[in-house]
């Protein structure tokens, strides 16, 4: 490892937040890319929300929307880590931090491919099991309850710790060069997937094409990764998911911004199980 900060230790989000002040241009660029992602995603998903287990469409279409969605949702919360990487590296080329961000996004693209494969497998189960009037409602509620439980699990705690305190993780896995930047980005993305996969599963259970719920999940992710009160953030997120899971099972009409399947026309896509 040849990073100038080799051998230093640090904890908490302070080093990453300090790097944000030094790398304001880079952070502004990432936020701009996130803004473009929001604009493009909202445009692509218009009229597509069919509620829980919304159909994902063709693979190429879904993957394009998913990558834009991940840029929109994740770039603001990962910007401090990218800024910290940029500050640590000796290579002052602006390309290295962008390659780091690209590697991060590629890992999330892989998670999207896995989600699509699971959706295809579920659609092939006989009996249209994910239809709302069959098991769809129960599975959606159970998914939210599982996501709430995961928020309090040791593995979530470890992954969130890596996301909130990236200095040690960056130094322990340092790779020089542009390829190294990309590889480090994929590694950081893997920790982020470990931290956030249950929240993304909750998004599918609420309607992956729902812009309001996409914004809610993005907000929860940002709060967990950046606010000083780590336990308050995770317990608060768990409470939100628990309440949503119970409401989805008992009184889905009480869930704000939820499209209950069958209540209205949805253009261009069919339910995941249909």
The pLDDT profile of the chain, 274 residues, written as one tens digit per residue, is 444 444 344 456 767 667 766 688 888 999 999 999 999 999 988 888 888 988 898 999 999 999 999 999 999 999 989 988 888 887 667 789 999 999 999 999 999 999 999 999 988 888 788 888 888 899 999 999 999 999 999 999 999 999 988 888 888 888 888 899 999 999 999 999 999 999 999 999 999 999 999 999 999 999 999 888 889 999 999 999 999 999 999 999 999 999 888 754 444 344 454 4
In a domain, residue 228? The reply is yes
Q: Give the pTM.
A: 0.85
Q: What is the pLDDT of residue 5?
A: 41
In a domain, residue 271? The reply is no
In a domain, residue 261? The reply is no
In a domain, residue 94? The reply is yes
Q: In angstroms, rounded to a whole number, what is the distance separating the alpha carbons of residues 117 and 183?
A: 24
Give the ranges where the chain is alpha helix by DSSP (H): 14-22, 24-45, 59-88, 95-123, 137-151, 154-164, 166-172, 177-206, 211-226, 230-250
In a domain, residue 270? The reply is no
In a domain, residue 182? The reply is yes
Q: What is the pLDDT of residue 26?
A: 86
In a domain, residue 264? The reply is no
Q: Provide the domain count of the chain.
A: 1
Burial class (CB in 10 A: 0-12, 13-18, 19+), 98: buried
- Residue among 71, 62, 65, 67 at smallest CA distance from 116: 62
Q: In angstroms, rounded to a whole number, what is the distance separating the alpha carbons of residues 188 and 104?
A: 6
Q: What is the pLDDT of residue 55?
A: 86
User: Which structural domain, as residue segments, surrounds residue 22?
Assistant: 14-254
In a domain, residue 6? The reply is no
Q: In angstroms, rounded to a whole number, what is the distance separating the alpha carbons of residues 90 and 216?
A: 37
């Amino acid at each position: 490892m040849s990073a100038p900060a080799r051998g230093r230790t640090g904890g908490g989000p302070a080093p990453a937040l300090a790097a944000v002040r030094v790398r304001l241009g880079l952070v502004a660029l990432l936020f701009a890319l996130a803004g473009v992602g929001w604009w493009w995603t909202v445009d692509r998903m218009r009229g597509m929300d069919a509620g829980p287990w919304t159909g994902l469409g063709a693979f190429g279409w879904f993957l394009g929307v998913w990558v834009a969605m991940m840029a929109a949702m994740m770039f603001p919360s990962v910007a401090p880590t990218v800024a910290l990487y940029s500050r640590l590296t000796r290579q002052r080329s602006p390309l290295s931090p962008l390659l780091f961000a690209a590697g991060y996004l590629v890992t999330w693209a892989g998670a999207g491919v896995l989600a699509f494969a699971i959706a295809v497998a579920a659609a092939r189960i006989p009996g249209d099991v994910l239809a709302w009037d069959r098991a769809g409602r129960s599975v959606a509620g159970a998914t939210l309850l599982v996501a709430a439980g995961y928020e309090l699990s040791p593995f979530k705690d470890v992954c969130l710790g890596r996301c909130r305190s990236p200095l040690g993780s960056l130094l322990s896995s340092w790779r020089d060069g542009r390829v190294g930047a990309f590889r480090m980005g994929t590694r950081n993305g893997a920790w982020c997937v470990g931290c956030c996969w249950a929240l993304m599963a909750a998004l599918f259970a609420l309607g992956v094409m729902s812009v309001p719920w996409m914004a809610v999940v993005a907000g929860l992710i940002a709060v967990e990764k950046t606010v000083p009160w780590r336990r308050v953030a995770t317990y608060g997120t768990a409470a939100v998911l628990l309440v949503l899971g119970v409401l989805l099972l008992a009184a889905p009409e009480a869930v704000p911004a939820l499209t209950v399947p069958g209540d209205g026309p949805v253009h261009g896509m069919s339910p995941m199980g249909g």
